[in-house]
Amino acid sequence: MKKSLKNISILLVNTIVLVTLIQAYRISHESNQEVVQTYQCPMHCEGDKTYTTAKNCPVCNMQLSSTKSKSTAITNNTISETSIFNLTSLWKTEEDKTITLKELKGKTLVVVMIYTSCKSACPRLIADMRNIEAEIPDKKIKSIQFVFVSIDPTTDTPKKLKDFAIENFMDDEQWTFLQGTVSSVREFANVLSVKYKEISPVDFSHSNIISVFDAQGELIHQQEGLGVSNKETIDAILKVTP
């Protein structure tokens, strides 16, 4: 009887310690979020410079506005509301690594949605991507990531994507292939305004769009259709890539 009482008291102490720890963690977490709260000139006089107090802009003297705490998942306040890095879904690369899109931040992104078993437009889209890549000076390639997002996440496993990359001589650092989920691919397609429909388990109908994002994940250019000139797309890429 005494023993069980002792056990209970140990359990009780343990519970109290645990609750306190959780509380402490939550408090520290909340205060972390407060730090994120920043203010910025609505006219962006000093670019993306932010302040921690709501004073006036030293350049135009306008009252600084809150940059909003945004989604709680965002701790880095340098991305804007329209950046694709606001998407929090998880992706698998052809190297079987799990990433969020935000991990691609810092490079210009050239993005296209394809599926590897496609026989009609995809080879041409891939050729377009390769042609664009070939036009980029070597010293800039390091700052650009060419991303293929599969619209057939059930078939296009990391292994399948890796095989596809090797087969098409696109296995270097600058090429990335992503597998998502049915839901995250729909969401991503919506961000790119890409439409697609499964016609049969192996065939998809989809829009042919190559999208360019700057290093902050802002959409800056879209090339629509097949067999169109890549010139504008290349210009857009060069313009935003240092």
Counting beta carbons within 10 angstroms of the beta carbon of residue 61, is it exposed (0 to 12), middle (13 to 18) or buried (19 or more)? exposed
Residue among 87, 151, 137 nearest 108 (CA)? 137
**Residues 80, 92 contacting (CB under 8 angstroms):** no
Of the candidates 47, 72, 138, 242, which one interacts with another protein according to CB under 8 A? 72
Q: Position of tokens 């050239």?
A: 110
Of the candidates 155, 187, 220, 230, which one interacts with another protein according to CB under 8 A? 187
Q: Name which of residues 192 to 231 contact another protein (CB under 8 A).
A: 193-200, 203-208, 224-227
Choose one: 5-13, 46-54, 92-100, 183-191; the region binding another protein (CB under 8 A).
Answer: 183-191
Rounded CA separation 107/201 (Å): 34
CB of 82: closest distance to another protein in angstroms? 5
Q: Which residues of 80-89 are buried (b: 16+ CB within 10 A; e: fewer)?
A: eeebbbbbee
Q: Of 141 and 191, which CB lies nearer to another protein in the complex structure?
A: 191
Choose one: 24-32, 67-75, 128-136, 170-178; the region binding another protein (CB under 8 A).
Answer: 67-75
Number of residues that bind another protein (CB under 8 A): 40
Q: Of 115 and 175, which CB lies nearer to another protein in the complex structure?
A: 115
Q: Of 104 and 136, which CB lies nearer to another protein in the complex structure?
A: 104
Reading the block at residue 16, the tokens are 């109290």
Q: Is 191 helix (H, G, I), strand (E, B) or coil?
A: helix
Of the candidates 83, 116, 145, 233, which one interacts with another protein according to CB under 8 A? 83
Q: Name which of residues 110 to 129 contact another protein (CB under 8 A).
A: 118, 120-122
CB of 25: closest distance to another protein in angstroms? 20
CB of 188: closest distance to another protein in angstroms? 10
Rounded to the nearest 10 degrees, how much is the dihedral formed by the CA atoms of 70, 74, 79, 83?
-80
Q: Which residues of 12-23 are buried (b: 16+ CB within 10 A; e: fewer)?
A: eeeeeeeeeeee
Half-sphere CA count of 147, side-chain side, radius 13 A: 27
Q: Does 183 bind another protein (CB under 8 A)?
A: yes
Binding site for another protein (CB under 8 A): 68-72, 80-84, 86-87, 118, 120-122, 183, 186-187, 189-191, 193-200, 203-208, 224-227
